[in-house]
Amino acid sequence: MKKINWTQWIALFVFASMGISVVFTIYEIFTAPIKQPATGPHVTLRGDYIFLLFEIILGIFILLLPSIIARRFKFEIPGLVYILFIVFLYGSIYLGTVQKFYSTVPHWDKILHTFSGAMLGAIGFSFVSLLNSNDKVVMKLKPGFIAVFAFCFAVTMGAFWEVYEYTFDGIMNLNMQRYNLSNGTPLTGRAALEDTMTDIIVDIIGALFIVIVGYFALKKGRPWMERFEFKRKNWKKEPKKK
């Protein structure tokens, strides 16, 4: 029987946390009110729990997605990169949304955006390492190009996330981009753009940090960069036995 390594234990912990959250969220959907009460404090509505359930289920799917892609295209995801990925998912979906860290922990959103910028930059380096190891494509990219690609990849993914927030703010009448105050008062001018722009800025800071470190590590041939490399498995087909 194959032993479960520490990376898999962390993934199982995150998966279990989200699975339990699904059960409790379904319960809240059936017990939460549909509309805000005429008097009293603001309460979480049924529609909010429905969207929360959607986010948790999407998070579980995204958690499983790297393994599905790796098996399909026959490559191995570095344990360190996968750990960064699931830690981000745990921080954003379980801690941030389910446990409400976004509203209770100061600057939690900005911490996650900075972390995601660095994580996506590392994934950008990993993608290029996969191309460099492809026997069918003769391609040895220089450290400068790899660094630029990793930076652009990270910032582009951060921009797509802002598009996601903007889209669902409109569809579900949410406030992920913080264009309203907590009491529902809409912001105007630069204040309405502040959350989105600072998210992009800290994405850039996180990506820039990992890109600079990665660039000089590649230039100097540091062996620890191999921890971020995707490795192909069974690229050459074995001949069929007669």
Same domain, 73 and 125: no
Give me the pLDDT at residue 171, please: 87
| Claim to verify: residue 227 and residue 112 sit in the same structural domain | yes
Residue 239, pLDDT > 60, answer: no
pLDDT digits (tens, 9 = 90+) for 90-117: 999 999 999 999 989 999 999 999 999 9
The residues with which 75 forms a beta bridge, in sequence order, are 232
What's the pLDDT at 241? 52
**One domain, residues 120 and 208:** yes
Weakest mean pLDDT among 10-19, 36-45, 105-114, 168-177: 36-45
The answer to which of 4-8, 34-38, 197-201, 224-228 has the lowest mean pLDDT is 224-228
- Say if residue 131 is in the same domain as residue 42: no
Q: Is it the case that residue 134 has pLDDT exceeding 50?
A: yes
In a domain, 169, yes or no: yes
The answer to the question of residue 58 being in a domain is yes
Q: Which of 37, 63, 79 is the last residue of a domain?
A: 79
Considering the domain architecture, whether residues 133 and 180 belong to the same structural domain is answered as yes
What burial letters (b/e) apply to 121-134, b meaning 16+ CB within 10 Å? bbbbbbebbeeeee
Give per-residue pLDDT as tens, 166-225. Answer: 998 888 888 889 898 877 789 998 999 999 999 999 999 999 999 999 999 888 877 767
Residue 94 inside a domain? The answer is: no
115 and 72: one domain?
Answer: no
**Cα–Cα distance between 21 and 90 in angstroms, integer?**
12
Structure tokens of 131? 């191309």
Q: For the purposes of burial, counting CB atoms within 10 Å of the CB of 5, is it exposed (0-12), middle (13-18) or buried (19 or more)?
A: exposed
In a domain, 217, yes or no: yes
Q: How far apart are CA 73 and CA 134, in angstroms?
A: 12
pLDDT of residue 235: 46
- The secondary element (H helix, E strand) that includes residue 46 is helix 46-73
Number of structural domains in the chain: 2
If asked whether residues 134 and 36 sit together in one domain, one would say no
Longest dimension (CA), the chain: 79
88 occurs within a structural domain: no
Among residues 150, 135, 113, the alpha carbon closest in space to that of 228 is found at 150
8 A C-beta contact, residue 133 and residue 231: yes
Start-to-end CA span in the chain (Å): 31
Give me the amino acid identity at 133.
S
CB 209 within 8 A of CB 122: no
Whether 52 shows a pLDDT value over 60: the answer reads: yes
- Asked whether residue 183 is domain-assigned, the answer is yes
63 and 118 co-located in one domain: no
Entry pTM: 0.84
114 with 216, same domain: the answer is yes
Rounded Cα distance between 229 and 209, Å, is 18
pLDDT at residue 49, as a whole number: 92
Does residue 96 form part of some domain?
A: no
Return phi, psi of residue 16, to 5°. -65, -40
Residue 10 lies in a domain: yes
Residues counted in the chain:
242
Residue 31: give the domain boundaries: 1-79
CA-to-CA distance for 39 and 91, rounded, in angstroms?
34
Determine how many CB atoms are found less than 10 A away from the CB of residue 81.
19
Please give the Cα distance from 35 to 177 (Å, whole number).
23
Q: From 79, 97, 118, give the residue that closes a domain.
A: 79
Give the rounded percent of residues in the chain with a pLDDT score beyond 70. 90
Pair 153, 127: CB distance under 8 Å = yes
- Same-domain check for residues 111 and 214: yes
Does residue 53 sit in the same domain as residue 126?
no
Do 120 and 75 belong together in one domain?
no
